[in-house]
Amino acid sequence: MKRTIFLFFILVIALTRNVALGDDDQRVPAGAVAFHFVARISFFAPPTPPVLVGYMAFIEGVPGPFFDASGGLPLGEATAFFTLRVTSAPQPIVLSPGSNVTAFLTPPGATFDVFFDETPNQNWANPASFSDGELIASFEESGFMSTSVGDPFGPGVSYNLFSSDLISSKRFSFNGQKIDFKKLIRNGVTTNNFGSSTPVSFDPFTLAFTGSAVAIGGNKDD
């Protein structure tokens, strides 16, 4: 009887250790790239906030592929399984440093959500389509400054850098694996965005860019 009880506890410890190791294996190391994405932002006259939507092309620790190639459509916004959308954002402040530099300062508090859609069908012309999927994570952004160099309405580049705290996440299944952003990037990310100051359209004024997010280190509780 004692031998049976002893073996039972050994089994429980082993299973617990395996689960813990699985969680650690899924975590993105601090300083490593957590995900890459493609997005567009459209600006409107105040007090209407900007609209930002996009899709994730890669997530570290998540098994690909990240696009639905079954329908023969190009790999992009219409076929991406993972999308993002800014759901609230303060009105940016326009600054004029001089020369050919233009800057937009966005105060802290903007939030964006990440969605998983098993049957993607997003369209840039319909921003709401980027939030049709299952909500799997939400982030709150720090204040950040977007800087453009060049003609604001012509050739040029833009850049910004900011951090985001993970404020909620939901476990989900994808390609045979259980995924949870709380395990992947529990401390949030720091994001670098790089784009063109040449607008995709003028009505509304819309800019395209790409971004890469790096996992933040720390010791936050699970």
Q: What is the pLDDT of residues 175-208, one digit of tens each?
A: 999 999 999 999 999 999 999 888 899 889 899 9
Is there a domain that residue 222 lies in? no
Look at residue 153 in the predicted model and tell me its pLDDT.
Answer: 61
**Cis before 120? omega within 30:** no
Is there a domain that residue 98 lies in? yes
Q: Which two tokens stand for residue 52?
A: 């930002």
Residue-wise pLDDT tens digits, 131-156: 999 999 999 999 988 888 887 666 78
Is there a domain that residue 220 lies in? no
Look at residue 28 in the predicted model and tell me its pLDDT.
Answer: 96
Question: Hey, which bits of the chain come out as E strands?
Answer: 33-43, 51-59, 82-88, 93-98, 101-106, 111-116, 134-141, 144-150, 156-169, 172-174, 177-179, 189-196, 201-202, 205-215
Residue-wise pLDDT tens digits, 87-108: 888 888 888 888 888 888 989 9
Q: What residue type is 104 in one-letter code?
A: F
Q: Report the half-sphere exposure of 208 (CA within 13 A, side-chain side).
A: 9
The residue among 17 and 63 whose pLDDT is bigger is 63
| Domain that residue 184 falls in | 2-215
Is there a domain that residue 221 lies in? no
Is there a domain that residue 110 lies in? yes
Q: How many domains does the chain have?
A: 1
Smallest CA-to-CA distance from 218 within 176, 179, 190, 199 is with: 190
Is there a domain that residue 206 lies in? yes
Is there a domain that residue 58 lies in? yes
Look at residue 120 in the predicted model and tell me its pLDDT.
Answer: 97
- At 113, the pLDDT band (50, 70, 90 cuts) reads very high
Name the average pLDDT for the chain: 86
Q: Which two tokens stand for residue 71?
A: 């329908």
